[in-house]
């Protein structure tokens, strides 16, 4: 029995090698399905690690007070609509908190807008203009390639100075290796470059080098005070994070003279809220992709079954000969089942390799972490094995059930 089984396996593999084109076309369905499993899981896994890293870089000890908490748009839409009537937050609010918060180590303020920059004949359109207080380097990972960051004096005097992102500096001053000390124009005002941030790369096609940091007081002079600021608070003791949030919320209510039963007229967002939101988004992506990937795998299985049924028909006489020389139903069924599983698993292995390769290329040109979870590899191989057995069972059973006399007569 063992010899017969081994002989059937050899015949099965020889048949696959002798029909290379048909074998390859049959593999495509499983390749695409498994490739999708590995690539989608790996990219989402890498994006999740990146998002967590970015939050941790800013600090799990940081929360943001803003006019409207954008997370409520997805979590509580009615509250979001109501919060649109909130008053703008001002630098006076930030100064109030900085003087009174006992559990904070940094209280920073920022505003963001967009504008075009010009230096000589060079233009940079749609630059992100970030107005910051001098303590922003304590809350953000912005390593310098050249020059310095903003200082307290820059903010106090509303100095027309700027720290440029890597791409902005390169495009505005293409002929100068060191843009520090050179000038550009923003809304008709001349600004001096005092620093250039090192290349931050791109994430999911979003360039992270397209900004200019200027003193927040200067931004308010250039663009007006109609923009609400964001206040970032870093707590001194992470174990007292919730106390620090409550203290900040209390002081903001006092500052805005809110009565006990009045709702907060500001939003407070934490890193944990962002991570929960991100987990919800990735969960939705997984839920949406699962049926799509499943459909592609099922289609690959149907293609596999059809090809195996054609193979049974084409090899009817061969089956009759094998039965005539003593091959049992089990030998014949095993031969065709081996073909189906081999095709399916080979497609799965190739799909995993291609999916990992696609993930590596995307991660190489972005800041995403390259990571292929072992469970995704196991899922891909397990799925293709089950598909090979399930969709190969009917052709194998049909081949095993052929009458040897009728099979020998088949032309």
Same domain? For 343 and 369 the reply is yes
Top pLDDT among 32 and 145 is at: 145
Residue 254 falls inside a structural domain: yes
Q: Could you list the residue range(s) of the whole structural domain that residue 29 is in?
A: 2-54+276-409
Residue 400 falls inside a structural domain: yes
Residue 304 falls inside a structural domain: yes
**φ, ψ for residue 268, nearest 5 deg:** -130, 120
Same domain? For 103 and 25 the reply is no
Distance CA 134, CA 9 (A): 73
Helix (H) or strand (E) holding 406: helix 404-409
Confidence of residue 400 (pLDDT cuts 50, 70, 90): low
Same domain? For 95 and 31 the reply is no
pLDDT of residue 6: 43
Same domain? For 293 and 236 the reply is no
Answer with the one of 265, 284, 315 that is the final residue of a domain.
265
pLDDT of residue 1: 39
Confidence of residue 356 (pLDDT cuts 50, 70, 90): confident
Chain centre to alpha carbon of residue 366: 10
Same domain? For 311 and 362 the reply is yes
How many structural domains comprise the chain?
2
Residue ranges of alpha helices (H) inside 86-126 are 91-100
Confidence of residue 355 (pLDDT cuts 50, 70, 90): confident
Mean pLDDT over all residues of the chain? 80
Q: In angstroms, what CA-CA distances link 101 with 58, 172, 282, 335, 403?
A: 20, 41, 36, 76, 89
Same domain? For 232 and 126 the reply is yes
Q: In angstroms, what CA-CA distances link 364 with 183, 284, 355?
A: 34, 26, 14
β-sheet bridge partners, residue 202: 207
Residue 371 falls inside a structural domain: yes
Residue 82 falls inside a structural domain: no
Question: DSSP code of 102?
Answer: S
Same domain? For 161 and 292 the reply is no
Q: In angstroms, what CA-CA distances link 27 with 292, 341, 396?
A: 18, 11, 18
Same domain? For 188 and 233 the reply is yes
Give me the half-sphere count of Cα atoms (radius 13 Å) on the Cβ side of residue 101: 32
User: Which of 393, 410, 396, 409 lies closest to 314 in space, CA to CA?
Assistant: 410
Same domain? For 249 and 303 the reply is no
Question: What does DSSP say about strands 104-119 and 144-147: parallel, antiparallel, or unpaired?
Answer: unpaired
Same domain? For 116 and 244 the reply is yes
Helix, strand, or coil here: 261? coil
Contact between 197 and 63 under an 8 Å Cβ cutoff? The reply is no
Sequential DSSP letters for 193-256: EEEEEPP--EETTEES--EEEEEHHHHHHHH-S-SPPEEEEEES-GGGHHHHHHHHHHHHHHHT
Q: How many CB atoms lie within 10 A of CB 256?
A: 16
Residue 80 falls inside a structural domain: no
User: Which of 227, 152, 218, 229 lies closest to 191 in space, CA to CA?
Assistant: 218
Residue 61 falls inside a structural domain: no
For residue 217, pLDDT beyond 60: yes
Confidence of residue 189 (pLDDT cuts 50, 70, 90): very high
Answer with the one of 265, 295, 315 that is the final residue of a domain.
265
Distance CA 262, CA 86 (A): 12
Answer with the one of 216, 239, 265 that is the final residue of a domain.
265
Same domain? For 176 and 290 the reply is no
Q: What is the pLDDT of residues 35-90, one digit of tens each?
A: 877 777 777 777 666 666 555 555 568 899 999 887 776 667 778 788 888 999 99
Question: DSSP code of 272?
Answer: H
Residue 72 falls inside a structural domain: no
Q: What is the pLDDT of residues 133-145, one digit of tens each?
A: 999 998 888 899 9
| Least confident span in 180-189, 223-232, 400-409 | 400-409
Q: In angstroms, what CA-CA distances link 388 with 34, 101, 312, 401?
A: 13, 64, 16, 20
Q: In angstroms, what CA-CA distances link 198 with 42, 95, 237?
A: 28, 31, 30
Same domain? For 282 and 349 the reply is yes
């Amino acid at each position: 029995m063992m010899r017969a089984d081994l002989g059937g396996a050899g015949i099965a593999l020889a048949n696959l090698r002798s029909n290379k084109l048909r074998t390859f076309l049959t593999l495509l369905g499983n390749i695409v399905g498994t490739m999708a499993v590995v690539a989608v899981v790996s990219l989402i896994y890498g994006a999740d690690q990146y998002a967590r890293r970015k939050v941790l870089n800013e600090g799990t000890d940081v929360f943001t007070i803003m006019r409207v908490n954008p997370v409520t748009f997805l979590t509580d839409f009615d509250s979001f609509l109501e919060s649109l009537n909130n008053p703008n937050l001002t630098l006076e609010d930030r100064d109030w908190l900085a003087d009174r918060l006992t559990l904070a180590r940094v209280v920073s303020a920022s505003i963001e807008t967009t504008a075009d920059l010009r230096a000589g004949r060079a233009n940079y359109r749609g630059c992100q203009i970030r107005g910051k207080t001098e303590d922003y380097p304590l809350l953000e990972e912005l390593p310098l390639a050249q020059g310095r960051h903003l200082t307290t004096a820059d903010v106090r005097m509303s100095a027309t100075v700027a720290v440029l992102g890597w791409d902005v500096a390169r495009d505005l001053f293409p002929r100068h290796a060191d843009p520090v000390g050179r000038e550009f124009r923003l809304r008709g005002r001349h600004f001096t470059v005092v620093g250039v941030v090192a290349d931050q790369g791109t994430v999911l096609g979003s360039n992270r080098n397209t900004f200019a940091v200027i003193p927040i007081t200067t931004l308010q002079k250039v663009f007006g005070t109609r923009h609400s600021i964001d206040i970032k608070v870093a707590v001194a003791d992470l174990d007292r994070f919730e106390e620090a949030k409550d203290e900040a919320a209390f002081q903001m209510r006092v500052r805005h003279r809110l009565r006990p039963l009045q709702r907060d007229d500001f939003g407070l967002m934490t890193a944990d809220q962002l991570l929960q939101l991100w987990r919800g988004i990735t969960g939705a992506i997984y839920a949406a992709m699962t049926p799509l990937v499943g459909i592609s795998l099922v289609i690959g299985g149907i293609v596999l079954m059809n090809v195996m049924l054609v193979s049974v028909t084409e090899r009817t006489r061969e089956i009759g000969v094998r039965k005539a020389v003593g091959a049992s139903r089990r030998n014949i069924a095993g031969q065709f089942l081996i073909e189906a599983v081999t095709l399916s698993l080979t497609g799965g292995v190739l799909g995993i390799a291609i999916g990992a390769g696609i993930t590596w290329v995307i991660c190489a040109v972005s800041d995403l972490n390259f990571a292929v979870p072992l469970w995704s590899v196991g899922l891909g191989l397990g799925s293709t094995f089950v598909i090979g057995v399930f969709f190969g069972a009917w052709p194998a059973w049909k081949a095993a059930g052929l009458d040897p006399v009728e099979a020998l007569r088949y032309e």
